[in-house]
Amino acid sequence: MTIALERPAEGGNKTRTPVKPVRFRRVLLSETTKFRTIRSTWICLALGLVLLGLFGSIGAFTYDGAGVTDGPPGISGRPLDAVSLALMGLSFASLVVGVFGVLSTAGEYSTGTIRSTLAAVPKRLPVLWAKAILAGGAVFAISAVGVFAAFLIGSVGLDGEAISLSFTDDGVLRALFGAALYLGLVAVFGVALGALLRSPAGGIAALVSILLILPGLAMLLPDSWYDALNPYFPSNAGGAVYALTETSDRLSPGAGIAVFAGWVAVTLAAAAFRLKKTDV
Amino acid sequence: MIEARELTKRYGDKTVVDRLSFTVKPGEVTGFLGPNGAGKSTTMRMVLGLDAPTAGTVTVNGRAYAGHGAPLHEIGALLEAKSVHPGRSAVGHLTALAQTHGIARKRVDEVIELAGLGSVAHKRVGAFSLGMGQRLGIAAALLGDPEVVMLDEPVNGLDPEGVLWIRNLLADLAAEGRAVLLSSHLMSETAQIADHLVIIGRGRLLADTTVADFVRESGAGAVKVASDEAAKLQALLAGPDVAVTASNETELLVSGLDARAIGQVALRHGVPLHELTPLGASLEEAFMDLTTDELEYRSAPADGRSAR
């Protein structure tokens, strides 16, 4: 080991800027800064929060027990409960948080930022993991706040109605936390789709198709196939975790979230493969 | 130091970089020249590991780029002018990059000042002019205090003051012992900044030489001299490798001697000069002669006949 000699002052005493090796925690910090410093992050998260809180509360306050004896047409004929009212905004919110996830990765390609990013982190994969953790974590936290707020505010509106529930009732906490977990995973799904397709438009189209259109298209399948496959579609499997009651045409909450997490994991693995193997 | 050995990149059956070997040495500015589409940018992306070579290798300071623990400390690069999210500020962009390497916030402010972006540091990059975008890219390249600096067409979009700034900056960086690689499609401009030249066309190496050698071999680098005593000066300059032609009674065109040598001769003999101009245009012609056969995008003459 030789001792580094200070070069005599030619343009002032030049000491080199201290630089540390790239580590996962530093990539995580860097990605946090990236999320923090673009407006779409705040817009998407705020919109997700508002959709969950507002739609959920409005659903409860406009609920009229007398009008739904024949079963509400919207919620596939299932009996309405306080939890599903509190989750009225969930479909919309899932699109918003999914788009948030897509933009966090696909946006890097459409703007060219990816070249700066991967020049700084040439191992590449830590960037994807960091984005998945941050997007999933942030959306889970925001969603938990949103659905609990909707349920609490909603319980005031439903006071005295037959369907009124409290946190201590069976399945309520599980369904509410499940909804937040589902939305967090949808954000990770978006991150993976954006990284896989490298285009915001493509990523968003894929997200909407898979979550919303695929289950509808599946109706074209023969009945026996449909019955067998339907519970395993991403949004249906995920839906099992935030439904208050278990039914025979759905997976159990645990199995449902596991299947949805499986879809997300497979997509993320494909995204990781493409990120690692192909030119940018 | 950048070392490329037999570097090759093919997209399908199109070879963009073809067995390219060159070295970028510390302490000098290497100009990387070639017409548009010659493969300069692709080569630079391979240096950073953004594109994988089809064959061959390229190393930075002796290692593949991805093998470095702190790559921004080894090489800083400006690729496309705007590889930045338009919604982010310069500070936000540079801070995010700095954090991957544990670089202090103080350094971010330093490079922003260095690039002259102090007044717009917190503005959205989307509102930046092309020149400001280039300055931000250069700030990012210098962030990690790298031993090698690689800039793809850095003077694009810069005003004359910016061009001068780049020229001085690169000379300083090389004087500090760093290796500097600078791509351009303009010979005359590069010859003013670079010490060494790597010239490519259609991905192939056409010349790997010093600027001085290229100038001498191309027969370019003539110097225009104007003096009231032109005839006297013509006699004084005459020598075995020197050609002097008089365009009129006060103007000479000298090749084989540089402006410095001519000035010294004139001073020694008390001949007053009122113009001493190295001519860049013929340098550009020599470059075009070298690369004409290798042009990827050749423009047809306006009358529709073929160029050669």
Predicted local distance difference test score (pLDDT) of residue A121: 97
- Residues on chain A touching B172 (C-beta within 8 angstroms): 11
Q: A121 to chain B: which residues are within 8 Å by CB?
A: 100
Interchain contact, A111 vs B48, CB within 8 Å: no
Residue B51: closest CA among chain A residues belongs to which residue?
A279
Judging contacts by C-beta atoms under 8 Å, the chain A residues touching residue B80 are: 112, 115
pLDDT given at position B282: 65
What is the tens place of the pLDDT at every residue in B106-125? 999 999 999 999 999 999 99
Section B34-46 average pLDDT: 92
Decide if pLDDT at A69 tops 70. Answer: no
Among chain A, residues having any CB pair with chain B shorter than 8 Å are: 10-11, 14, 16-22, 26-27, 29-31, 33-34, 36-40, 107-108, 111-116, 118-123, 279-280
Which residue, chain included where needed, has tokens 């192909």?
A278
pTM for the model stands at 0.85
Rounded to whole angstroms, the Cα distance separating A253 from B44 reads 51
Residues in chain B within 8 Å Cβ distance of A39: 87
Q: Structurally, what CATH architecture does the domain formed by B222-279 represent?
A: 2-Layer Sandwich (3.30)
Q: Give residue-wise pLDDT tens across range A234-274.
A: 999 999 999 988 888 889 999 999 999 999 999 999 999 99
- Which percentage of chain A shows pLDDT scores above 90? 65
Mean pLDDT within B280-295: 71
Domains of chain A by residue range:
24-63+78-277
In terms of pLDDT, which residue wins out, A45 or B293? A45
B209 touches chain A (CB under 8 A): no
- Specify the pLDDT at position A174: 94
**Predicted local distance difference test score (pLDDT) of residue A232:** 93
Q: What is the mean pLDDT of chain A?
A: 88
Per-residue pLDDT tens digits for B69-106: 999 999 999 987 578 999 999 999 999 999 999 999 99
- The answer to whether B127 faces chain A, any CB pair under 8 Å, is no
Amino acid at A56: G
Mean pLDDT over B17-22 rounds to: 96
Average pLDDT over residues A18-46: 96
Specify the pLDDT at position B167.
93
- By CB atoms closer than 10 A (0-12, 13-18, 19+), residue B171 is middle
Residues 6+ apart with CB under 8 A from B83: A111, A112, A113, A114, A115, A116, B137
Confidence label for B291 from pLDDT (cuts 50, 70 and 90): confident
Q: Find, in chain A, the residue whose alpha carbon is nearest to that of B52.
A: A279
Average pLDDT, chain B: 89
How close A67 comes to chain B (CA, Å)? 48
| Position with higher pLDDT, A78 vs A63 | A63
Question: Among A21, A18, A30, which residue's Cα sits nearest to residue B70?
Answer: A21
Query: Which residues of chain B are in CATH 3.40.50.300 domains?
Result: 2-216
Is B8's Cβ below 8 Å from some Cβ in A? no
pLDDT value, residue B142: 97
Q: pLDDT-based confidence at A169, cuts 50/70/90?
A: confident
Which of A81-95, A112-126, B67-81, B250-264 shows the highest mean pLDDT?
Answer: A112-126
Residue A86 has pLDDT above 80, yes or no: yes
Q: Please give the pLDDT value at position A1.
A: 41
As a whole number, mean pLDDT of residues A211-224 equals 88
Per CATH, which fold does B2-216 belong to?
A: Rossmann fold (3.40.50)
Span of A150-154, B46-50, B107-111 with lowest mean pLDDT = A150-154
Contacting residues for A30 by C-beta, under 8 A, at least 6 apart: A120, A121, A130, B96, B97, B99, B100
Please indicate if any CB of chain A lies within 8 Å of the CB of B217: no
Whether the predicted pLDDT of A8 surpasses 70 = no
Q: Do B96 and A37 touch (CB under 8 A)?
A: yes
Closest-approach residue (CA) in chain A for B64 = A122
Most confident option among A41-50, A163-172, B241-250: A41-50
DSSP, res A241: H
CB-CB under 8 Å, B95 with A18 = no
Q: Tell me which chain B residues have a C-beta less than 8 angstroms from the C-beta of A38.
A: 85, 87-88, 92
- Give pLDDT, residue B212: 81
| % of chain B with per-residue pLDDT over 70 | 92
User: Among partner residues B49, B65, B86, which is closest to A111 by beta-carbon distance?
Assistant: B86
CB within 8 Å of chain A, chain B residues 159-198:
172, 175-176
CA-based nearest residue in chain A for residue B47: A119
Residues in chain A closer than 8 A to B51 (CB atoms): 279-280
Q: How far apart are CA B221 and CA B199, in angstroms?
A: 18
**pLDDT > 90? residue B300:** no
Distance from A48 to chain B by nearest Cα, in Å?
21
pLDDT value of position B259:
86
Which of B41, B73, B99, B111 to mutate against chain A (most A CBs within 10 Å)?
B99
Question: Which of A19, A27, A32, A41 to mutate against chain B (most B CBs within 10 Å)?
Answer: A19
Q: How far is A275 from chain B (nearest CA, A)?
A: 10
What value does the mean pLDDT take over residues B231-244? 84
Which pLDDT score, from 0 to 100, does residue A2 have?
42
pLDDT at B295: 62
Per-residue confidence (pLDDT) for residue A13, from 0 to 100: 43
Q: So what's the pLDDT on residue A250?
A: 87
From the list A29, A113, A123, the residue facing B99 with the nearest CB is A29
Reported as a pLDDT band with limits 50, 70 and 90, residue A72 is very low
